[in-house]
Amino acid sequence: MTAAPLPDLILEPLVRAALLEDLGTYGDITTRTVIPATTRYTARLNAREAGIVSGLQVAALTFRLVDPALVVTAHKADGDEIRPGDLLMEIEGAAASILSGERVALNFAGRLSGIATMTAAFVAQTSGTETRVTCTRKTTPGLRLVEKQAVLHGSGFNHRFSLSDAILIKDNHIAAAGGIRPVLRAVKAQASHMIRCEIEVDRLDQLAEVLDEGGADVVLLDNMDTPTLRKAVALAAGRVVLEASGNMRLDRIAEVAATGVDYISSGALTHSAQTLDLGLDF
């Protein structure tokens, strides 16, 4: 999926924090000890596994922050399909600088490529339907921005980024507020016209109550089995956007998409993706 690169200015704090963590208080003492400062090299970032690549922008920024004199040449773009042996990026310049940025660059690119690859696998299961796959807020603390960008690279869609993006009324909110009607009436009375509202239900009678009361733009159908999801789609009849969530495994996505829900959300995209094997070769 084509996703516009994020401004480096936004990404820099994430990358700087990772570099500071890795370089410690005294920098890369191994490299400083054994690699002469005058040694120059061209390193190649290669794919060792098939998938969808993500994090190349972050990897390039990593090397530039370590040493602005490094010349980074991209041979693939975030969102591209890759195969084992594909050349993704070349980094030319001081060998010591390349080695000092290697692990952080690989950590980002491998992790984010794993998310993009898993997302693409989920999306493939929705083929022939209008259902979209979306992520959740179940992301690595501090890395939500780039992990959600990786979901886009895998042709998925983003849910809200933070608690301030939209109203999402969960079962705990409903319990604390005294029911579905009270929370929806509070939304209608207080929320700005620019804020969308989603509410979670886990039974069809709750969905009927939401539809009768109004005030919700999206209904999250939580942990419903497939026959119940079909009934929910029929009951809603296009009046609200429907999002199926809860235990959305890869082997279930096709049957859920076939029910006609608008979105399938899965925390697994970001919390359970396996790092894609990439390597920096000298």
At the topology level, CATH places domain 8-122+274-281 in Aldehyde Oxidoreductase; domain 3 (3.90.1170)
Q: Which of 16, 76, 103, 181 is catalytic?
A: 103
* Each residue's pLDDT tens digit, 10-64: 999 999 999 999 999 999 999 999 999 999 999 999 999 999 999 999 999 999 9
Catalytic residue, candidates 78, 200, 213, 262: 200
Active-site annotation holds for 209: no
Q: Tell me the domain boundaries of the chain.
A: 8-122+274-281, 123-272
200 included as an active-site residue: yes
Pick out the residues of the known binding site. 103, 136-138, 160, 170, 200, 222, 245-247, 266-268
d(CA 267, CA 282): 36
Catalytic annotation present for 222: yes
Q: Please give the CATH number for the structural domain made up of 123-272.
A: 3.20.20.70
* Distance, CA of 25 to chain centre: 31
pLDDT of residue 3: 86
Residue 105: both structure tokens together: 């660059």
**pLDDT, tens digit, 9 for 90 and up, residues 77-132:** 999 999 999 999 999 999 999 999 999 999 999 999 999 999 999 999 999 999 99
pLDDT at 148: 98
Whether 1 has a pLDDT exceeding 80, the answer reads no
Given 16, 132, 138, 185, the catalytic residue:
138
Pick out the residues of the known binding site for substrate: 103, 136-138, 160, 170, 200, 222, 245-247, 266-268
- pTM strictly above 0.75: yes
- Listed residue (251, 210, 214, 254) closest to 232, CA to CA: 210
> HSE (CB half, 13 Å, CA atoms) of 25?
0
The string of pLDDT tens digits covering residues 141-181 is 999 999 999 999 999 999 999 999 999 999 999 999 999 99
Q: Which of 16, 32, 170, 252 is catalytic?
A: 170
Q: Which residues of 214-229 are buried (b: 16+ CB within 10 A; e: fewer)?
A: ebbebbbbbebeeebb
Catalytic annotation present for 76:
no
